[in-house]
Chains A and B, each alone.
Chain A
């Protein structure tokens, strides 16, 4: 590989810096302070999260990234109120969060549409639970369905939709409640690469059009850089904040930017943070190779060992 002179990921263009200044001057929506979580199990205690602190500002798009098992899901479930913290505080608009509530929308990795309801009824679900009348819920639901481009499927049942479409409905359903923050736990993790790329663009498009703060978990570095204003990098065992990176790639984002120097520099930094033991990894792979038997016969058309 030819080494290209890369800028530091910390280096921001004037435009990007101005954008971050504006962003940080906005009100704080989510304030996580000293959050920790330990699980008690038969094998003893697991510290899933330790002393996590960060803030997100209004209309910010934050991605959370980290190695598998570092506690990303645990973090977002605590924010959603589905899990209780062992210590620390979660403040939404300055108020302590207790239990789940409609002020925090959530999109899960698995498909969680209600199979017995049509797309429209799924999106109306939260509105009706808030006590909005049927007529109002319906007209609002239809607007949200239009926003995610699924008007044609308003009366379809979830089992008639593709995976990507299901997640778009799930986004519409979460947004219909007009939450202060949208929490997303690897929402595109189960989708194929093409659908996934499309969904990322859709999501940015939606985000641009409404006043919503997004906290998005992923383990895909490209996805994180493509989507985020800032990336919260966690480290594992126990889950702690490694770094909060400001993505220097300017907005609006488009796919060509994945080869821009800022993008590559950021990705390099993330790779270094998340896979710091590259040498160790190679070592174990080399050991694995020694045990591998070549299951081929003479005349088989396989690549030569060299």
Chain B
């Protein structure tokens, strides 16, 4: 009882071993549920995969059927005294088992594209990463300075923020057609969608982060003889840097969510193209593999950036 109470103490750091164990568990738990649903025949499995068609004329080996339908036909065959079809419980096609996804994950990198117009998966991925990179970089080049200005000087805040606040409610994907009309059908409009999706949030988030900087730090700097204009370089920017870095990490995650829409406009491309294409052929193992790849790339970048942040900002309190 006291051990449980200890664990549930608010914000109390956990012992290292337990902490690591929980991280592993947070991934293992959903994986286990997935495995149970996939491999334990009496859990869910609403379909039957035909092994031997028997006497049923339209059954084929490997065919997926609703359980009731299969049982009906089997009963009919039994009554008629003809060969009874056999089958195994199966899940719908949209839920591939873990090992199938794992195989797809591997083969998607090794298998040559079936059509000439198609790209290798790694090419698709690389293309997506470039679109994200340019969209996010361009947005940051304008959005971060503007956010900092808005957070520091009320003049900028009043002048820009109301409009930005309005614009961020306009759904970025709605600008797809417009972006294509202006920027053509290749990467231009895709980058523009990422930009629109990121930029307006970015100005507001960075503005708020800047406003949170303790005013007395600015006052202290002024009493030390820093001029009004140099305050921005000497105090505001270094003062908000760690928080700004954290904001950028979160915003980068948002940028990825706009990728799916961005890649569907103009000429479809990138990982999204791969996903929709594979879904059309009902290769759901490939779909899951691709979705997982996005997740892994996202998580890996974030962990990497977090580690880098610890090195970049040694003055941040630990924990």
Instruction: Mark A residues whose CB is within 8 Å of B.
Output: 80-82, 99-102, 104-106, 108, 110, 112, 114-117, 125-126, 129-130, 157-159, 173-174, 177, 183
Contact partners of A105 in chain B: CB under 8 A? 223-224
Q: A173 near B219 (CB under 8 angstroms)?
A: no
Q: A116 near B241 (CB under 8 angstroms)?
A: yes
A115 with B220: in contact, given A102-B225, A129-B226 (CB under 8 Å)? no
Contact sample, A vs B, 5 pairs, CB 8 Å cutoff:
A100-B219, A102-B224, A110-B214, A114-B235, A116-B315
B122 contacts A by Cβ under 8 Å: no
How far, in Å, is B77 (CB) from chain A's closest CB? 78
Cα of A173 to Cα of B313 in the assembled complex, Å: 22
Cα of A67 to Cα of B220 in the assembled complex, Å: 25
B212 contacts A by Cβ under 8 Å: no
How far, in Å, is A109 (CB) from chain B's closest CB? 9
Instruction: Give the contact-size bracket for chain B.
Output: 20 to 34
A115 with B223: in contact, given A108-B216, A129-B230, A129-B234 (CB under 8 Å)? no
| Chain B, 178-233, CB within 8 A of any chain A CB | 214, 216-217, 219-226, 230
Q: What is the interface of chain B mostly: helix, strand, loop, or mixed?
A: helix
A101 with B216: in contact, given A129-B234, A157-B315 (CB under 8 Å)? no
Q: B230 near A115 (CB under 8 angstroms)?
A: no
B238 contacts A by Cβ under 8 Å: yes
Q: A112 near B315 (CB under 8 angstroms)?
A: no
Q: A112 near B220 (CB under 8 angstroms)?
A: yes
Cα of A110 to Cα of B214 in the assembled complex, Å: 10
How far, in Å, is A31 (CB) from chain B's closest CB? 19
How far, in Å, is B137 (CB) from chain A's closest CB? 25
Contact partners of B317 in chain A: CB under 8 A? 159
How far, in Å, is B209 (CB) from chain A's closest CB? 15
How far, in Å, is A118 (CB) from chain B's closest CB? 8
The answer, among A100, A112, A173, for a CB contact under 8 Å with B217, is A112
Instruction: Mark B residues whose CB is within 8 Å of A.
Output: 214, 216-217, 219-226, 230, 234-235, 238-239, 241, 313-317
Cα of A101 to Cα of B316 in the assembled complex, Å: 29
A104 with B223: in contact, given A112-B214, A157-B315 (CB under 8 Å)? yes
A130 with B225: in contact, given A114-B238, A114-B239 (CB under 8 Å)? yes
Contact partners of B230 in chain A: CB under 8 A? 129
Q: Among B219, B238, B239, B317, which residue has the most Cβ atoms of chain A within 10 A?
A: B219
How far, in Å, is B177 (CB) from chain A's closest CB? 46
Contact partners of A183 in chain B: CB under 8 A? 223
How far, in Å, is B237 (CB) from chain A's closest CB? 10
Contact partners of B219 in chain A: CB under 8 A? 80, 82, 100, 106, 108, 112
The answer, among B221, B222, B226, B239, for a CB contact under 8 Å with A116, is B239
A129 with B315: in contact, given A100-B219, A112-B219 (CB under 8 Å)? no
Q: Among B216, B219, B223, B239, which residue has the most Cβ atoms of chain A within 10 A?
A: B223
Q: A112 near B222 (CB under 8 angstroms)?
A: no
How far, in Å, is A213 (CB) from chain B's closest CB? 15
- Which residue of chain B lies nearest to A130 when distances are taken between CB atoms in the complex? B225
Cα of A6 to Cα of B23 in the assembled complex, Å: 71
How far, in Å, is B244 (CB) from chain A's closest CB? 12
Cα of A299 to Cα of B216 in the assembled complex, Å: 53
How far, in Å, is A156 (CB) from chain B's closest CB? 10
Q: A158 near B315 (CB under 8 angstroms)?
A: yes
- Which residue of chain A lies nearest to B241 when distances are taken between CB atoms in the complex? A116
Contact partners of B220 in chain A: CB under 8 A? 106, 108, 112, 114
Q: A177 near B224 (CB under 8 angstroms)?
A: yes
- Which residue of chain A lies nearest to B227 when distances are taken between CB atoms in the complex? A129
- Which residue of chain A lies nearest to B313 when distances are taken between CB atoms in the complex? A116
A126 with B315: in contact, given A110-B216, A114-B238 (CB under 8 Å)? no
Contact partners of B315 in chain A: CB under 8 A? 115-117, 157-159
How far, in Å, is B303 (CB) from chain A's closest CB? 24
How far, in Å, is A140 (CB) from chain B's closest CB? 14
Contact partners of B241 in chain A: CB under 8 A? 116
The answer, among B223, B235, B239, for a CB contact under 8 Å with A80, is B223
Q: A82 near B217 (CB under 8 angstroms)?
A: no
- Which residue of chain B lies nearest to A101 when distances are taken between CB atoms in the complex? B225
Cα of A108 to Cα of B314 in the assembled complex, Å: 25
How far, in Å, is A153 (CB) from chain B's closest CB? 14
Q: Among B234, B241, B313, B315, which residue has the most Cβ atoms of chain A within 10 A?
A: B315
Contact partners of A112 in chain B: CB under 8 A? 214, 216-217, 219-220
- Which residue of chain B lies nearest to A83 when distances are taken between CB atoms in the complex? B219
A114 with B217: in contact, given A82-B222, A100-B222, A101-B225 (CB under 8 Å)? yes
Contact partners of B217 in chain A: CB under 8 A? 112, 114
